[in-house]
Structure 1
Amino acid sequence: MASTAQAATGDENDCKKHPGARILHGPHKTIGGVEAWMVWGLCTVFVVWLFSIQTGYAVVSPEIQKTASLTVAQIGLAGSIYTWAFALCQFFSGALLDRFGSRPLLAVAVAFVTAGAFLYAQTDSMATLIAAQIVLAIGSSFGFVGAGYIGGQWFPAARYGLMFGLVQSLASLGSAFGQPAISWQLQHVTWQQLLNGFGAGGVVLIVLFVLLVRNPSTGPAQLAQTTARPSRPPPLVSSILRDLGTCFRNRNVVLSAALAGVSFGSMLAMGVLWGPRIMEARGAGTSLAAVLTAMSWLGLAVGAPLFNLLSDHWNNRRIPAVVGVLLQAAAVALLIYLPKETNSVSVVTIFCVGLFAGAHMLGFTVAGESAPGRILPDSPSLGDYGGALLMMPILLVLGALAGFFIKDTAKARVDA
């Protein structure tokens, strides 16, 4: 918070010297005002953009596989490396935002994703693909959590959940329409040109973030917290380890992480990598497979706010989460094990995978992406996917079981 106060003071001094700079550089005056929506909107665009790159991997990976002469196992391994790197960086991204604020870090994060997109476009070997995935993961780890941080800093606390849900819904909608759009564009441009286009969009975002994104000014409540803290903050790594220890001692945090982790991890596994491959194994062409997989993201766009609304309506957090994850497990199992002749049912099923994944609403994980890449043959059939992805519905059921032991945190409503 001290760094936030210093940044706000520095911005105010700059505005006194250069009054015309207040529009772009001055601290905000009104929580939830025009500037708050502008900053939040820009961060949401960042999330939608990086989600499009992430989910575009589902469409582009077959082309990369041909160009770089890779196997299905190698493509799956690269996707797993991204997720592991993302999960590791996630431990630090939130702590860094708390320490330094959004002003320097989000622009740097956009720069990392931009560099990853350009590196992605140069993929001609497994080593280049892995390097691109790691660079992308570093920048992407600040995306969703950064948008949540902005929502908490620039809007009233009562609207935090709503703002976070809106980010998830918009990102999911972007992925739902982005996958078919990417598939259509690949009919007119090469995958290298497409990824370079994403990189060019990132350059524009970097400029906008540098010009428009500022740390919010320090209000009375933040000033009180700042004066109560030591002037010299503890070392970053030790403070992160201390906070992690605090989290792991909280049973609800651990169990909620398990439930949300397997839910969203399985969603990513289907929406980013394995969904199109399963649909292709069912006989769909590459373009149609991308459109069908996009239905899962459309389902998540509906499910993310829906489960929040149901939870508030029933005044219960645990039961909707557990039921949602169990239904997601059933949908994933049906998608994998339904006979090949039931393709029309699979369209509804993959929508339900995303719809019920809305029960997670928080948490990023490596679940569901590690095992398949090592045990699939070079030309897998639908039956091969059934064996390789068996772990996914099992993990979802285990995550739902963990949810039964969560102490419900919903507060009792007081009727007027």
Structure 2
Amino acid sequence: MSSRSSASSAGSVSLPGDPPGGRRAVAVWGIGVSVYFVAVIFRTSLGVAGLDAADRFHVGASALSTFSILQLLVYAGMQIPVGLLVDRLGTKKVLTLGVLLFTAGQLGFAFSPSYGTALASRALLGLGDAMTFISVLRLGARWFPARRGPLIAQLAGLAGMAGNLVSTLLIARLLHGVGWTAAFAGSAVAGALVLVLTLLFLRDHPEGHEPEPFPHHGAAYVRRQIAAAWREPGTRLGMWVHFTTQFPAMVFLLLWGLPFLVEAQGLTRASAGDLLTVIVLSNMAVGLVYGQIVARRHAARLPLALGTVGATATVWAATLAFDRTPMWLLIALCAVLGACGPASMLGFDFARPANPPQRQGTASGITNMGGFVASMTTLLAVGVLLDVTGDDYRIAFSAVFVLQALGLTQILRLRGRAARRERERLVASRVETVHVPA
């Protein structure tokens, strides 16, 4: 394990090989974060347009869920390839391609005349979106000291939730103010803006901190990268933490939250939108807290993740126990769902110290795949169960508990192995550092 990774694991002071950070790092990283911010706006814009999409394309619950499922299928399937691309090509090239693709997808969705073309547009959007978050994580690792890793990752997630807030507050109002085409096409202007910023100002790394040259030999290199990252228990634990924590809020925000609140709970769209905003605001607040805690005490990663899973399951079960859930409990549900995003970011804090710098993109891709596979599976299950049961949300949303149980089992199975491996790598890196001449 590199001395940089050991710093991240131990929460120690910066080492000589660490990037310097500073104002320039914030500026460059901020451009990458702005790309992710816009990608999340586009990704979640369907969440406030689900009922409108059903009317526009004349589809039921299962077909409606296919929009998000296809988008997440493309996203999840691209995580490992994107990780490899980031390791090989660098951040700027991958982010530039991502912006082009997700902006084209948003424009295509705005002008789609049929269900089929709209599906293709969401798939294109998912392809571009898949290239953003891993690139931003890699950019942060290249520009900031390793001990800042947990906080930088949480801040990146915070920017994503700010994008979700824009969807909830702005896109929803545009949709009902200027109409479908103008709302989605107008939002695509943001993609053009971040494309210009990326091309003009983004840099992969600070001067003097170029990554070590790493040989790339086609398929053999790909197999080695994936196999080496997967062998690390920390990578697999990170993936299952991401799998178990992220999807309840993702499913609620991305598609099924608004229909549940309007159709099953009898709320107005305005009240439902306010509750979705609670999730976003809670996410932003909890993200800052989790980032500070883990940066100071690395051992808090697993208790925070497990605590979030337990709280989510408890409040979700309480919500489904009512035919018409009291408003105070719906607010509590949304506040707790807000912790799911920050908890999923903890998965990267298991994968990061388990892998050397030249494998960070691949390991992050494996980790990031977890939550989106869980979200895609749950979106499909909820849509099918709604059609089968005649829109019984209590039965449909019970699918959440099945995936939580699966993920929790894997976390408990891997936690001891990952902790032992991390201690071994930390001890080895300290010995190596002591013997390196000044």
TM-score (norm 2): 0.79
Aligned-pair distance for 1:313? 4.1
The one of 270, 280, 288 aligned to 1:297: 280
Rounded to whole Å, the distance in 2 between the matches of 1:375 and 1:153 is: 45
Query: Would you say 1:391 and 2:399 are equivalent positions?
Result: yes
Change (3 A) 1:310 1:204: closer
Rounded to whole Å, the distance in 2 between the matches of 1:203 and 1:221 is: 29
Rounded to whole Å, the distance in 2 between the matches of 1:152 and 1:291 is: 35
Query: Would you say 1:351 and 2:335 are equivalent positions?
Result: yes
Unpaired stretches in structure 2, ≥5 consecutive residues: 1-18, 348-367, 427-438
Query: Would you say 1:374 and 2:384 are equivalent positions?
Result: yes
Letter in 2 for 1:59: V
Aligned-pair distance for 1:359? 1.8
- The corresponding residue for 1:85 is 74
Rounded to whole Å, the distance in 2 between the matches of 1:182 and 1:380 is: 30
Rounded to whole Å, the distance in 1 between the matches of 2:326 and 2:84 is: 47
- The corresponding residue for 1:365 is 372
Rounded to whole Å, the distance in 1 between the matches of 2:289 and 2:411 is: 19
Change (3 A) 1:138 1:341: closer
Q: Counterpart of 2:188 in 1: which secondary structure?
A: helix
**C-alpha deviations, 1:98-138, integer Å up to 9, x for none?**
11112322111111111011011123322112211111111
Aligned-pair distance for 1:380? 5.2
Letter in 2 for 1:377: D
Higher RCO structure (Cα 8 Å, ≥6 apart): 2
**C-alpha deviations, 1:80-112, integer Å up to 9, x for none?**
111111001111112111111123221111111
Unpaired stretches in structure 1, ≥5 consecutive residues: 1-29
Instruction: Give the 5 Å matches for 1:101-180.
Output: 101-180=90-169
The one of 327, 347, 368 aligned to 2:311: 327
Change (3 A) 1:80 1:194: same
Counting aligned pairs with the same residue, the percent is 21
Aligned-pair distance for 1:188? 1.5
Change (3 A) 1:34 1:255: closer
- The corresponding residue for 2:15 is none
| Structure 1 vs Structure 2 CA RMSD | 2.4
Aligned-pair distance for 1:303? 2.5
Aligned-pair distance for 1:309? 3.7
Aligned-pair distance for 1:220? 6.1
Instruction: Give the 5 Å matches for 1:248-267.
Output: 248-267=230-249
- Matched positions, count: 374
User: Could you tell me whether the CA contact under 8 Å between 2:41 and 2:163 is conserved in 1?
Assistant: yes
Q: Counterpart of 1:159 in 2: which secondary structure?
A: helix
- The corresponding residue for 2:3 is none
Change (3 A) 1:338 1:256: farther
Rounded to whole Å, the distance in 1 between the matches of 2:309 and 2:222 is: 30
Q: Counterpart of 1:284 in 2: which secondary structure?
A: coil
TM-score (norm 1): 0.83
Change (3 A) 1:202 1:132: same
The one of 30, 35, 60 aligned to 2:49: 60
User: Could you tell me whether the CA contact under 8 Å between 2:248 and 2:340 is conserved in 1?
Assistant: no
Q: Counterpart of 1:376 in 2: which secondary structure?
A: helix
